[in-house]
Amino acid sequence: MDDDDRVFRALADPTRRYLLDRLHERDGRTLTELESALAMTRFGVMKHLKVLEDAGLVVTRRSGREKLHFLNPVPIRLIHDRWIDKYTERFVSALADLKTELEETG
């Protein structure tokens, strides 16, 4: 399995995307904090975090006695850079803005 496969596999699961959303909201959380946001056993959450770590989407760092989890968006950026160059990016982001605006007002 190459790096991109790991990223796509990790993202192909709603619980793992939910965990990334929580970290995007506030970074640097402990397992206990992440666990409290999910109706799932500690072991289940750990398994999902392991898949996210293997894909490089979550990075852990020690802070005293605590292990903190951080969202690492670089693998997603690398996938983005592979297919979207700087010139097309402007059009893509304009379309994304338009979609957001229409959906919010509509």
**Nearest distance, CB of residue 60 and other proteins, angstroms:** 9
- Of the pair 33, 56, the CB lying nearest other proteins is at 56
**Nearest distance, CB of residue 39 and other proteins, angstroms:** 28
CB 67 within 8 A of CB 30: yes
- The residue to which tokens 């999910």 are assigned: 38
Picking from 83, 79, 72, the residue whose alpha carbon sits closest to that of residue 4 is 79
Binding site residues, other proteins, CB under 8 A: 27-28, 56, 59, 61, 70-78, 81, 85-87, 89
- Of the pair 40, 76, the CB lying nearest other proteins is at 76
**Nearest distance, CB of residue 106 and other proteins, angstroms:** 26
Q: Which two tokens stand for residue 105?
A: 């007002």
Question: What is the H or E stretch that residue 27 is in?
Answer: none
Residue 64 DSSP SS3 = coil
- Of the pair 27, 41, the CB lying nearest other proteins is at 27
Picking from 88, 87, 89, 83, the residue whose alpha carbon sits closest to that of residue 4 is 83
- Of the pair 90, 103, the CB lying nearest other proteins is at 90
**Nearest distance, CB of residue 66 and other proteins, angstroms:** 13
